[in-house]
Amino acid sequence: MRILAIETSCDETAIAIVECSGNETSARFTVLGNALLSQVEIHKEYGGVVPMLAKREHQKNLPHILDKAIAEANVPLQDIDAIAVTAGPGLEPALWVGINFAKALALVWNKPLVAVNHMEGHLLASLSEKIGEQLSISNLQFPILALLISGGHTELVLMKKWLEYELVGQTRDDAVGEAFDKVARMLGLPYPGGLEISRLAEEVRSLGFVNPSSDEGFTKPFILPRPMIDSGTCDFSFAGLKTAVLYLLKKIPDISEKEKQHIAHEFENAVADVLWKKTALALEQTSAQTLVIGGGVSANTHIRRVFKNSVDIRYPQVTLRIPTASLTTDNAVMIAIAGYYHASRKEFVTDIVANGNLSLAQH
């Protein structure tokens, strides 16, 4: 089955054409065409995504992105079997652009339409492994625990059966990507901040020292809190960590580049500590056999390393799936993958309503 998928939930305009085969337990995907345009440069000057600007850019760019994906895939229209589109969660003005475009294509081309939950896209795509030129989802043991970490979400979700989700824990305030972006802004780093913080923190690690000492001009090491780390629940909180950075910065009027690096490093360590501790608790509580991390923040080098090492040492019986770099941040291939799972079940729709708060799982 060939799926044409559209993603416009935030600031990436993306269309992918993916050849999908196999069943739920053993599925294969070949990306035939994949066109993506990031709006980062446009939103940068505002320090975050402006929904109305995102909407305007999606409207302007979707037709070109479609031409590009079709040209790359070199597949005649009659060979597309279904159209999948992100229905939520995300920015509603942005979601509507993709939905209306998908509905128009489905009508004109006479193709069935599939509504996709963006977080399910992150989850299922992150379960895939790259084998040669293909992505493969196979050999997975249930239950599957997913840590979904993005700009708008931080949640632990349990999948006991294909496409059935239970919420194990979630953030009570900021999403982890949001905390990365806000702390980056406080440090004067450009949007989106996650990557910038990671770059600074990795520099500190590559220099081989963990705690800045007085010989480097610091009076004492920077220590940030690990909010709710011992709460005994799988819920998270990142607002306090962000505020702690704010108070710390108030005490350093003329901050040096080195001090910024060390704050970025300590912030990233605090985030990774909390994410791992909560995930470990969820692994214990759910006896999950597979752990997957997905969402934009799963691109983070340190978090990937912490999860790989910790699973190896503490849960060697658990299979860890971490997405390949191109599948971490928003893309349309993940929407095609999730779309295929629903299209295989013939879950087609005739109308779609954008839902900015669409949830994947409930307690």
Where along the sequence are the contacts to ligand KG4 (CB under 6 A)? Answer: 10, 150-152, 177, 180-181, 192-195, 198, 295-297, 299-300, 329-330
Rounded least distance, CB 191 to ligand KG4, Å: 8
Rounded least distance, CB 88 to Zn ion, Å: 11
Q: 195 touches which of Zn ion, ligand KG4, none (CB within 5 to 8 A by kind)?
A: ligand KG4
Rounded least distance, CB 209 to ligand KG4, Å: 21
Residue with smaller CB distance to ligand KG4, 69 or 123: 123
Both structure tokens of 92: 């509603």
Distance CA 178, CA 164 (A): 27
CA-to-CA separations, 68 to 55, 62, 74, 129, in angstroms, rounded: 20, 10, 10, 26
In a 10 Å sphere around its CB, with 0-12 CB exposed, 13-18 middle and 19+ buried, how is residue 234 labelled?
Answer: buried
SS3 261: helix
Q: 193 touches which of ligand KG4, Zn ion, none (CB within 5 to 8 A by kind)?
A: ligand KG4
| Contact indicator for 273, 229 with CB cutoff of 8 Å | yes
Q: 61 touches which of Zn ion, ligand KG4, none (CB within 5 to 8 A by kind)?
A: none
Residue with smaller CB distance to ligand KG4, 10 or 187: 10
Residue with smaller CB distance to ligand KG4, 120 or 181: 181
Q: 174 touches which of ligand KG4, Zn ion, none (CB within 5 to 8 A by kind)?
A: none
Rounded least distance, CB 296 to ligand KG4, Å: 2
Which H helix or E strand runs over 335? helix 333-344
Residue with smaller CB distance to ligand KG4, 114 or 299: 299
Q: How far apart are the first and last CA of the chain?
A: 34
Q: 177 touches which of Zn ion, ligand KG4, none (CB within 5 to 8 A by kind)?
A: ligand KG4
Residue with smaller CB distance to ligand KG4, 2 or 265: 265
Q: 194 touches which of Zn ion, ligand KG4, none (CB within 5 to 8 A by kind)?
A: ligand KG4
Burial per residue of 264-288, b for 16 or more beta-carbon CB atoms within 10 angstroms, e otherwise: bbbbbbbbbebbbbbbbbbbeebeb
Residue with smaller CB distance to ligand KG4, 289 or 326: 326
Rounded least distance, CB 319 to ligand KG4, Å: 23
Which H helix or E strand runs over 273? helix 257-286
The binding site for Zn ion (CB under 5 A) comprises 150, 330
Strand-pairing partners, residue 30, are 19, 134
Residue with smaller CB distance to ligand KG4, 38 or 289: 38
Distance CA 328, CA 226 (A): 25
The answer for residues whose C-beta is within 8 angstroms of residue 220's C-beta and 6 or more apart is: none
